[in-house]
Structure 1
């Protein structure tokens, strides 16, 4: 029974989340006590479903771009011809962690304008470091007997990379992706300050109108999404680890 309890709780959280973003009016009695002066209890300046989808879309696009760049850099610096670029690569991926996302947004807006673009740039830069470092760790801690066996059977460098190294490093790479996604889910809310369509709109609307119900709604949706996606990616890591025989 105890083993099923976490799964049951996640399922309940998912059902409640979907119900709330699709039919938020059902939950009005819960949020009504948090309002003052007959203010609306449910966010009414847009569709919660649409904002949630757009929020996830921005995070997905930024994460996908970060995965491509970070994994490519990790592959480059773990090859003999690219080892000398490791310090430069580390400096590049650290840019996102050096500058706060708000600062990146402020710098990006004059260059690309308001909307989703500056938010995508900020999330992309912020998500590079965990994916790069985990990819680097995964590719540099491979079991050498397996790599040598692949070399011994005549595999080319490209074949070893695609059929042996990346599959073996996958659980560790996924751990970095998980961390990057969770960070981006929370960070994406500030994109609404530069006119990006994210769940930050709900939180900002609540702050401007002093409506705690709006703030709580936006925060809860992001928090539940982060927990559910974190758990889903963790399960994917464990599956990949079992397939490769490597502990995450």
Structure 2
């Protein structure tokens, strides 16, 4: 079963790379989905460059969300920050309370069209899973472990960096994985405000009633989500194995 899973992942990767690098090879597959001699393959831009732009937007937002959510999670698990936990939860829930489309509508008048409003929407949308997993990881560190570290003369900072964060890392990584995978699909709406990405392909298909374009955009996003999810899961397993833990995603 493990060998079969690896082969399926490799097949998906080969399919994705081949399609975005030489999409015209697949024209016969998509031709039956077109009408009135419409193009079978998206021809208003490079699928390769749109994929790179899509990934750049998602990972830039994920990096910003990770930094803010992890730092906030650390702060509210310290004695001096406990009282700010309810406020912090309210703040990171904003991204989930307001749909990304609504965030775009608010952001565009403030920062203009392009990548910026999309990054803001994805940043806000990605905070909650990372923040909650950071809280869970840090609060689930065994008090006995912390007492042992304290007994060894480690300062609070040393315990955080040398004990708490390493032990919480698999759970934090699971939150980052969830955030990234969710935003891979959510990022497609960025094309409604002129952000470069795979949403352009889907929107072009909707505007021209070309099912082939819609399917191509959706297929690339789906393959990216599957492959990136599996890659991040592998990282979690490696980290958890080194720590002698059960991977956080194993039960998901």
Query: One fold, TM greater than 0.5?
Result: yes
Q: Show the counterpart of 2:70.
A: 71
Establish whether residue 14 from structure 1 lines up as the match of residue 13 from structure 2. yes
The 2-side partners of 1:169 and 1:144 are apart by 13
TM-score by length of 1: 0.98
Task: Map 1:151-166 to 2 at 5 A.
Answer: 151-166=150-165
Question: Which segments of 5 or more consecutive residues in structure 2 lack a partner in the other structure?
Answer: none
Q: Deviations over 1:136-185 (max 9, x none)?
A: 00000002222111111111111111111101000000110011001100
Tell me the CA shift for residue 235 of structure 1: 1.1
Of the structure 1 ranges 154-163 and 184-193, higher mean CA displacement relative to structure 2 is found in 154-163
Q: Show the counterpart of 2:91.
A: 92
Tell me the CA shift for residue 193 of structure 1: 0.1
The 2-side partners of 1:187 and 1:173 are apart by 21
Q: Secondary structure in 2 aligned to 1:129?
A: helix
Tell me the CA shift for residue 243 of structure 1: 1.2
Task: Map 1:10-159 to 2 at 5 A.
Answer: 10-159=9-158
Tell me the CA shift for residue 11 of structure 1: 0.3
The 2-side partners of 1:177 and 1:88 are apart by 22
Establish whether residue 242 from structure 1 lines up as the match of residue 251 from structure 2. no
Q: Show the counterpart of 1:227.
A: 226
TM-score by length of 2: 0.97
The 1-side partners of 2:190 and 2:130 are apart by 22
**TM-align CA RMSD:** 0.6
The 1-side partners of 2:2 and 2:77 are apart by 40
The 2-side partners of 1:143 and 1:21 are apart by 47
The 1-side partners of 2:114 and 2:179 are apart by 22
Q: Secondary structure in 2 aligned to 1:36?
A: coil
Q: Secondary structure in 2 aligned to 1:167?
A: helix
The 2-side partners of 1:61 and 1:188 are apart by 12
Tell me the CA shift for residue 246 of structure 1: 2.2
The 1-side partners of 2:10 and 2:27 are apart by 22
Q: Secondary structure in 2 aligned to 1:208?
A: helix
Q: Show the counterpart of 1:213.
A: 212
The 2-side partners of 1:143 and 1:79 are apart by 15
Q: Deviations over 1:16-43 (max 9, x none)?
A: 1000000001111111110001100000
Q: Show the counterpart of 1:188.
A: 187
Of the structure 1 ranges 75-84 and 137-146, higher mean CA displacement relative to structure 2 is found in 137-146
Q: Secondary structure in 1 aligned to 2:197?
A: coil
Question: Which segments of 5 or more consecutive residues in structure 1 lack a partner in the other structure?
Answer: none
Q: Secondary structure in 2 aligned to 1:217?
A: helix
Q: State the aligned residue count.
A: 247
